[in-house]
Amino acid sequence: MLSEKSRIFMSESMKGENNPRWNGGNSQYPNHAELKRARIEVLKKSKGRCEICGKIAKIVHHIDGNKSNQSIDNLMAVCTKCHVPLHNDDNPIRSKGRPTKYGLIYGLKINEIAKCFGVTNNAVYYWIRNPKKKAWLEEQLKNNSFVKAEYVAG
């Protein structure tokens, strides 16, 4: 274990140009200080939880993909697992640039699930809130590829 003096020395020796990740002081974000402020605000607003799955969030995602747009409405707190699919342009679970919670969980949006089963969106929400019906729904979506094919064909 390092002494306090050794830790301070190592920390100081890795600052600025001495850091192997130094890139001349440039940031990939035009206004890095503004992003840091907005990031803290977004994480506080979401209580540190992913806005998609509810797990611990450490990443703030730009919904419109514009790194210079630090508007709170353009940022969302996400976990690493939910962040990766957000950068797939062919992602069918997006809704106006923002991923849908159920799209990430089930692979289909609520209205698409409802269409597959010939029910209303409210019926699907009811199924998801009822543990037995939720288990049945998940089983149907996992095992029956015809459901998704039927949706695509319809």
The three state secondary structure string of 79-115 is CHHHHHHHCCCCCCCEECCEECHHHHHHCCCHHHHHH
Residue 109 lies inside a defined structural domain of this protein: no
Q: Are 72 and 63 in contact (CB under 8 A)?
A: no
Determine the average pLDDT of the residues in 38-60: 90
pLDDT(95) > 90: no
Average pLDDT, the chain: 77
Residue 144 lies inside a defined structural domain of this protein: no
Determine the average pLDDT of the residues in 12-34: 70
Q: Which residue has the higher pLDDT, 147 or 72?
A: 72
Question: What is the residue range of 56's domain?
Answer: 28-86
Residue 5 lies inside a defined structural domain of this protein: no
Distances (CA, A) of 3 to 76, 98, 145: 40, 47, 59
Residue 142 lies inside a defined structural domain of this protein: no
User: Number of structural domains, the chain?
Assistant: 1
Q: Say how far apart CA 117 and CA 24 lie, in whole Å.
A: 56
pLDDT at 154 (0 to 100): 43
- CA–chain centroid gap for 92, Å, is 15
Query: Which pTM does this prediction carry?
Result: 0.45
Residue 113 lies inside a defined structural domain of this protein: no
pLDDT(75) > 50: yes
pLDDT at 92 (0 to 100): 53
pLDDT at 56 (0 to 100): 92
